[in-house]
Amino acid sequence: MVGEYVCEKPEHTFELGEKFGATFTGGEMILLSGGLGAGKTLFTKGVLSALWFDVDEVTSPSFTLVNLYKTENFDVFHVDLWRLDANSDVACAVGLPEILEDETAVVIIEWSEKLKNFSFPEKTFHIEIKGDGDEARKVKVKGKSK
């Protein structure tokens, strides 16, 4: 799934998330970056759809900071760092070290560029989304996985 994609419509962003989520075996970390309205939560909904979770239950954790979704195979933590000051210890503010103690959990982080000097797990993917709902979104997926 590493590569560059163009999502002409919002539903294509959802579908790309579904394709990506269908490859998960547990332990993945997804670092999402992109402006307001870029489709980070929409992509996340697609991932959770692939994991057989009710996407109507998936909401942006902008104010709760962390949402936990229990899928059939593993827990998915959906984290949003938007409201946090990038100069603080953002990882500790959302309990990221504790979340990562579950090596099978999937962690999806919106506004991940606020994480500084953090040691990411082996199966980490960086996904940058450019554009918004009024124009085609350009999605760049970088990462590594064994």
Please name which of 42, 47, 26, 48 lies closest in space to residue 100, comparing C-alpha atoms.
Answer: 26
Reading the block at residue 13, the tokens are 């962003």
What pLDDT is recorded for position 77? 97
- What pTM does this model have? 0.92
Provide the sign of the torsion angle of the four alpha carbons 104, 21, 31, 67, taken in this order. negative
Residue ranges of domains in the chain: 26-131
Q: For 46-64, how does the pLDDT look when each residue is reduced to its tens digit (9 = 90+)? A: 999 999 999 999 999 988 9
Angle, to 10 degrees, between the axis of helix 10-21 and the axis of helix 40-50? 40
The percent of residues above 90 in pLDDT, for the chain, comes to 73
What pLDDT is recorded for position 90? 87
Pick one of 3.40.640.10, 3.40.630.30, 3.40.50.720, 3.40.50.300 as the CATH number of 26-131: 3.40.50.300
d(CA 115, CA 81): 8
Average pLDDT over residues 13-32: 96
Q: For 85-133, how does the pLDDT look when each residue is reduced to its tens digit (9 = 90+)? A: 776 788 888 999 999 999 999 999 999 988 877 888 889 999 999 987 6
